[in-house]
Structure 1
Amino acid sequence: MLGLTVGALVVAALTAIAAGFVRGLAGFGLSVVLVPVLALTIPPAEAVLTGNISLFLIGLTDIGRIRRDAERSAIPIGLIALLCAPLGLWALTALPPAWARLLIAFVSLGAFVLVVIPLGKIALSRKPAMGISGVATGFFTGFAGMPGPGMAPFYLRGKLPPRVARASMMAIFLVTTPLAAIMFLALGIGGLETVMLALVLFPAVLVGDWFGHRAFGRVTDRQWQASVAVVLGGAALAALVKLLA
């Protein structure tokens, strides 16, 4: 079914639940969890497209939350990301599949490192930091279907309340992911079968996202930051272990 065995579909559905939970709790991370696992059984570009479609669909369920809580910084970061997404897509299509799988796994690891590594006395002013975040967000959107690693350091390391940081990242996802999906389909990457896979997995994503939202409402700010780092680190290590195995 959809190019996958029954066993692979079960694994994909379970991964989608975990990915949805991470996204509901953290505001990002769905593709960080989902794409590396899917890329082990389907072409990496199709795995990225599936992640982008899933992110867009789940984003539609949070429009009210985004309008209420997101910070205005999401607008310039999102616009810059839209301009840079084609660069990431070019890199994805230019690389052999084996290298793309490897780099996608390392993007997962990078998301964890960028969030937890201490910056010491080095700090950028807000506007340059927003520009770098927008470029990185756009590149990772096109290359790995993972806008999160580009924007996570800006929002998670800042002084914004988790509610605002989370909604701001969701707003950027809602803008960048449909464009990335359209670019993929226009270039002949993926097709109806890939879109159907994303739709089949969406109920699992929705279930996980619901539990993630409930968990977010029960944790303190520090617990939220720690849980995001732990989940990202675990997902990255799992992706690397499966890739190397």
Structure 2
Amino acid sequence: MLGFSADIILTAIGAAIAAGFVRGLAGFGLSVVLVPVLQLAIAPSAAVLVGIISLFLIGLTDIGRIRRDADRSAIPITLVALACMPLGLWALVALPPEWARVLIAMVSLGAFVLVVVPLGKVTLARKPAMALSGFFTGFFGGFAGMPGPGMAPFYLRGRLEPKAARASMMAIFLMVTPLSAALFIALGIGGREEALLALALFPAVLLGDWFGHRAFGRVTTTQWQVATAMVLGGATLGALWKLVS
């Protein structure tokens, strides 16, 4: 399939199922799981594009859920993210790989710390928090195809119920990913082959996502927060591993 060996195809399918499950449960994390595996077989920028297209395709299946449950905070965060995404894409193309790895590792670690470390009375007003969330969502959407770590701290530490927080993140993904993919293709970073690979993996992503949605309905708020924090933790460990290796 698409010129890849059987073992690469099987690995990609397994990663797509796992990525879909994480996304269905947490509301984000598809690219966090899928892109690191794919970039072992194809160019990192191509893997990022496959992840972005996969995010958009799976987002189309959740339009009803998004319209019903998403919070209005998704609108300003999306607008800021769209404005900042070209900056992330520029960084992906312009920065040396070593600097890129450092940047990914630092922001992944920062997002994880903001989610899991008790901050006591340290708070940030809602509007500045949304602005920062939008900036990092857009930057990392363009830079690494992983907008999730940018928005996760805002929604995990906020007062929204998991259902609304999860739907809000899905809404942002749905709006951000088409522009991100278009920018990649316009700059010649990818095109037809990456789109075909994303389409080929979509049934596996959809299967994992279905299981993730079923699991979400059976977990408590605390369990959901722990699960999403573990997704960020996995992304952080992966980024740090690339940095030290």
- TM-score when scaled to structure 1? 0.92
For 1:115, the equivalent position in structure 2 comes to 115
Aligned counterparts of 1:200 and 1:235: Cα–Cα separation in 2: 24
For 1:73, the equivalent position in structure 2 comes to 73
Aligned counterparts of 1:46 and 1:200: Cα–Cα separation in 2: 15
- Partners of 1:36 and 1:104 within 8 A in 2: no
Structure 1 portions without partners, runs of 5+:
none
Secondary structure of the residue aligned to 1:4 is coil
For 1:87, the equivalent position in structure 2 comes to 87
Q: CA deviation at 1:95?
A: 2.4
Q: CA deviation at 1:156?
A: 0.6
For 1:128, the equivalent position in structure 2 comes to 128
1:79-103 CA-partner distances (Å, limit 9, x unpaired): 1100000000000011234654665
For 1:185, the equivalent position in structure 2 comes to 185
For 2:16, the equivalent position in structure 1 comes to 16
The answer to which of 124-133 and 42-51 deviates more is 42-51
Q: Percent identity?
A: 74
For 1:169, the equivalent position in structure 2 comes to 169
Q: CA deviation at 1:237?
A: 2.9
- Partners of 1:39 and 1:47 within 8 A in 2: yes
Aligned counterparts of 1:46 and 1:61: Cα–Cα separation in 2: 24
Change (3 A) 1:9 1:97: farther
The answer to which of 159-168 and 109-118 deviates more is 109-118
Aligned counterparts of 1:228 and 1:133: Cα–Cα separation in 2: 16
1:199-240 CA-partner distances (Å, limit 9, x unpaired): 111111101100000000001111110121123323543565
Residue 50 of structure 1 aligns with an amino acid whose one-letter code is: V
Change (3 A) 1:146 1:227: same
Q: CA deviation at 1:187?
A: 0.6
- Partners of 2:58 and 2:206 within 8 A in 1: yes
Matched length: 245
Aligned counterparts of 2:45 and 2:118: Cα–Cα separation in 1: 33
Aligned counterparts of 2:42 and 2:96: Cα–Cα separation in 1: 14
- Partners of 2:27 and 2:166 within 8 A in 1: yes
Change (3 A) 1:201 1:113: farther
1:166-185 CA-partner distances (Å, limit 9, x unpaired): 00000000000000000000
The answer to which of 152-161 and 100-109 deviates more is 100-109
Q: How does 1:211-230 map to 2 (within 5 A)?
A: 211-230=211-230
Q: CA deviation at 1:104?
A: 4.6
- Partners of 1:2 and 1:194 within 8 A in 2: no
Residue 18 of structure 1 aligns with an amino acid whose one-letter code is: A
1:187-208 CA-partner distances (Å, limit 9, x unpaired): 1011211111111111111011
For 2:160, the equivalent position in structure 1 comes to 160
Residue 66 of structure 2 aligns with an amino acid whose one-letter code is: I
- TM-score when scaled to structure 2? 0.92
Change (3 A) 1:189 1:202: same
Q: CA deviation at 1:241?
A: 4.7
Q: CA deviation at 1:62?
A: 0.2
**Structure 2 residue 50 is the aligned partner of structure 1 residue 50:** yes
